[in-house]
Structure 1
């Protein structure tokens, strides 16, 4: 039986709503940082995980082709909320969520490359003048928070590079693939079909899903911003991210992009 990590956020619900119907798999829910660790330690066989996780342990991993969690111009759930403009954050404390792997690195890259400084980061929200949030917390804050300055990190990345940003990849452990190859082949085919159909009737998903603080329209609008593809242009954006991540010491080397076939 394949053991599959499930990001416990709204962004991937259109995929997992269908995947969860497959009783031949076991699902383990968690935030991205938890699933990154679970995959690295072999607790799960595969998962949508932070794209930075692949680069950190690529020798042990292989990617499911054609699928990601990405966005082209805005994502709405990887956000900087601040009391001052982003260019004035130099010397000020910025809270970084512990739920993320990729987004924290992305923020470090953006402030250094676009604004030329490194803020003072903290893992304690008290006393911070800005905060980087991801997932459902970021989405709730977008529509319900009282923040003076709001920045979508995907929008900043697109303005900086002109490329989409790949927040998560579907990553499998190589040893699990060797042990369960037939199951992986079946899963990859099912996942591809689910991805193709994932946005065909988003309104129907609202019969099964709701989020406190968001209207039905806001939830559907959010799902429509999600990009589950992984084209050559996405890979180009991913490799650009990895090059900056290496520059700032987040990874040791730029990994080869290897797909399960």
Structure 2
């Protein structure tokens, strides 16, 4: 078996996983690339990677997708790195610019606009807009840059009562069980070493790495997050498919 090609997100939220992989014997069995979330998904879809931490919105279009880990990039409440920034209250905006680096966060914004904020008049634009989605390290220190700031994970939980999983570890081909076990052991080791990792990060006065990596990011892929992913995918389908929307309307969605 050749080296397993892995695509991982290049943001701070993934550093514990990267640390674990780089300080584990499994590193000898993998070829690791660091990419933005949308590229991680693209590589899995195109077969350019065997395993990656991919946006959950991409799950339906990844061939032979199999979630292979009990770890994810998720949050219970505020995630502090996935926002809509706006010049006016979200219920009043008429235009929104999406983030080219994200599938899941863009879709989550659209779901919340329709079902939670009840704003169905928003146009998605590529240029100037009254509000925009932004994710990852580019959001650090920007919480006061605009009059209105909406943490999408916080509002998802207010809407559904569930935590959220933005990205999960997915394989597009069968992998040996011994490799999957070693891979998950490496991820667990990295999470256990977050104190050492945080000590290596350059200090910032506008962002608290410790709170972010220890509290905001919730790395366990538990049953509640699995329920959240299933609901998210149903809501995502309803955005594009009238029949799916009609079926979804008959379900007990959060009010």
User: Smaller-chain TM-score range?
Assistant: 0.7 to 0.9
Q: How many angstroms does 1:239 deviate by? A: 0.7
The structure-2 alpha-carbon separation of the partners of 1:130 and 1:77, relative to structure 1 and needing over 3 Å to count, comes to same
CA–CA distance in 2 between the matches of 1:231 and 1:27?
26
The structure-2 alpha-carbon separation of the partners of 1:97 and 1:76, relative to structure 1 and needing over 3 Å to count, comes to same
Match of 1:114 in 2: 116
Match of 1:71 in 2: 75
The structure-2 alpha-carbon separation of the partners of 1:122 and 1:158, relative to structure 1 and needing over 3 Å to count, comes to same
SS at match of 1:121: strand
The reply to whether residue 191 of structure 1 matches residue 183 of structure 2 is: yes
SS at match of 1:136: helix
CA–CA distance in 2 between the matches of 1:199 and 1:62?
22
Deviations 1:216-247 (A, max 9, x none): xx011111221111111111111111111111
Match of 2:102 in 1: 100
CA–CA distance in 1 between the matches of 2:18 and 2:149?
29
Match of 1:2 in 2: 4
Q: How many angstroms does 1:138 deviate by? A: 2.0
Match of 1:204 in 2: 196
Match of 1:237 in 2: 228
Match of 2:20 in 1: 18
CA–CA distance in 2 between the matches of 1:233 and 1:115?
23
CA–CA distance in 1 between the matches of 2:19 and 2:189?
12
TM-score (norm 1): 0.84
- The residue correspondences of 1:1-261 to structure 2 (distance < 5 A) are 1-21=3-23, 22-57=27-62, 59-89=63-93, 91=94, 93-118=95-120, 119-124=122-127, 127-142=128-143, 145-174=144-173, 177=174, 181-182=175-176, 185-210=177-202, 214-215=206-207, 218-224=208-214, 225-249=216-240
Contact 1:195 1:228 in 2 (8 A): no
TM-score (norm 2): 0.85
Deviations 1:179-215 (A, max 9, x none): xx33xx2332133223434443433213433376645
CA–CA distance in 2 between the matches of 1:134 and 1:187?
31
Q: How many angstroms does 1:102 deviate by? A: 0.5
Q: What's the Cα RMSD here?
A: 2.2
CA–CA distance in 2 between the matches of 1:101 and 1:60?
19
Q: Which moved more, 1:43-52 or 1:22-31?
A: 22-31
Count of residues in correspondence between the two structures: 237
SS at match of 2:180: helix
Name structure 1 gaps, 5 residues minimum. Answer: 254-261
CA–CA distance in 1 between the matches of 2:28 and 2:142?
35
CA–CA distance in 1 between the matches of 2:29 and 2:186?
16
Name structure 2 gaps, 5 residues minimum. Answer: 245-255
CA–CA distance in 2 between the matches of 1:45 and 1:134?
25
Match of 1:259 in 2: none
